[in-house]
Amino acid sequence: MLTSTKNYAIILLMTTKILKIDVNHPEENKIAEAASIIKQGGLVAFPTETVYGLGADALLPEGAKRIYAAKGRPSDNPLIVHIADFEALDRIARDIPAGAKALADAFWPGPLTMIFHKTSLVPYETTGGLDTVAVRMPVHPVALALIRQGGGYIAAPSANTSGKPSPTQAKHVALDLDGKIPLILDGGPVPIGIESTIVDLSGDIPMILRPGYITKEMLEQVIGEVRVDPGLTKEDAHVRPKAPGMKYKHYAPNADLILVSGQKEDVVERINSLVREGREKGEKDGIICTEETAGLYQADIVKSIGSRQDEDSIAKHLYEILREFDELEVDKIYSESFQTPRLGQAIMNRLLKAAGHQVIEV
């Protein structure tokens, strides 16, 4: 009894070390320190090109259990296994279709996750009880070095508390997980800012379960027909998304987020009038807009997410801006919609979820 009380106290009092690491040439001693934690079944947060991940040894049931506990994540929500070389795939996945090899050649290392039937090497704790496994080979040098030194298979969800926006900077990880994990590798802001595209290759026709930086068109250029999980687009509660994680409330800021969609002038006018009404009621409201419109709003808090001419900048700042609004403790956030040509689907997928699908069409 006494021992278990002591253990409990140790978990509560864990100090989280934040180690700055060189992104292009990760220092060997820092990678070694992180890898030794992973090999002992512990947790390390690390940068990838998409978002920060919370890593554990994917082949140890204990590692996955620690991830679920630290994130407060339901344990039926499977984890992505990160690998660093192509040979690693055959040990954890079986019945790998030819299309997958073509996709790997085209997009790995990079922001693409593929789902396969799993081998017995992968514990059910890692796959949330499923017979399939999600696999990704990231391109970030820190991630690759950690995977190689840490045993070759790192399970890593985004390193946020379940339900919060994914972390794109080490300080976001610290805000959510300080005291719950021993180490954060700080590689500065990540380059992409939204999570990887997930494509399921375990069925007859490849199916996108989560849109991301690699678009449907890019996949189709390599393997032909690709479908999009109907659960992603329909608001019908009976159509369940196939990726268990996509059904949960997600990416949500503390304030009520409302999207306004339509022609630029109409959107600006409506948001300005909504903010005016809010002010009369004593509310503190904020606005998410773009460089092109920032000067047109009359509100106390107007944040530009990026430029419509550069949709990568919008993806990159999306989660950061949602977290900034949490710090400002606003009551409501009104946001423009960003149906941009290439990343619009991925951006709006996150933003609509963050807004709980509250959209005003003008």
Distances in whole angstroms, Cα of residue 267 to Cα of each of 179, 270, 308, 334: 43, 5, 15, 10
Determine, following the binding rule CB under 6 A, whether residue 70 of this chain makes contact with ligand TXA: no
Among 133, 137, 147, 274, binds ligand TXA (CB under 6 A): 133
- Under DSSP, the state recorded for 166 is P
| Strands 256-261, 227-228: pairing kind | unpaired
Q: How far is CA 331 from the centre of its chain?
A: 25
DSSP string of 56-120? Answer: EETT-HHHHHHHHHHHT--TTS--EEE-SSTHHHHHHEES--HHHHHHHHHH-SSSEEEEEEEPT
Among 44, 50, 84, 125, binds ligand TXA (CB under 6 A): 50
Residue 149 binding partner per list Mg ion, ligand TXA, none, with a CB distance cut-off of 5 to 8 Å that depends on partner kind: none
Determine, following the binding rule CB under 5 A, whether residue 197 of this chain makes contact with Mg ion: no
Segment near Mg ion (CB under 5 A); pick from 156-164, 169-177, 263-271, 322-330:
156-164
Map residues 245-264 to x or -, x wherever contact with ligand TXA holds by CB under 6 A.
xx------------------
Q: Which long-range contacts (CB under 8 A, 24 or more apart) does 170-175 make?
A: 170/18, 170/45, 170/47, 170/52, 172/52, 172/319, 172/320, 172/323, 173/45, 173/52, 173/54, 174/16, 174/18, 175/323
Among 37, 45, 156, 268, binds ligand TXA (CB under 6 A): 156
Determine, following the binding rule CB under 6 A, whether residue 79 of this chain makes contact with ligand TXA: yes
Residue 337 binding partner per list ligand TXA, Mg ion, none, with a CB distance cut-off of 5 to 8 Å that depends on partner kind: none
* Residue linked to tokens 């890019």: 218
Determine, following the binding rule CB under 5 A, whether residue 158 of this chain makes contact with Mg ion: yes
Among 57, 176, 195, 311, binds ligand TXA (CB under 6 A): 195
Burial 136-152 (b: 16+ CB within 10 A, else e): bbbbbbbbbbbbbbbbb
Least distance (Å) between residue 242 CB and ligand TXA? 6
Q: 30 or 172, CB closer to Mg ion?
A: 172
Q: Which amino acid is at 158?
A: S
Determine, following the binding rule CB under 6 A, whether residue 169 of this chain makes contact with ligand TXA: no
Least distance (Å) between residue 262 CB and ligand TXA? 30
Residue 133 binding partner per list ligand TXA, Mg ion, none, with a CB distance cut-off of 5 to 8 Å that depends on partner kind: ligand TXA
Residue 123 binding partner per list Mg ion, ligand TXA, none, with a CB distance cut-off of 5 to 8 Å that depends on partner kind: none
Least distance (Å) between residue 50 CB and ligand TXA? 3
Residue 60: which residues within 8 A CB-CB, separation 6 or more?
41, 123
**Which positions lie near ligand TXA, rule CB under 6 A?**
48, 50-51, 53, 77-80, 113, 115, 127, 130, 132-134, 136, 138, 156-158, 195-196, 198, 209, 242-246
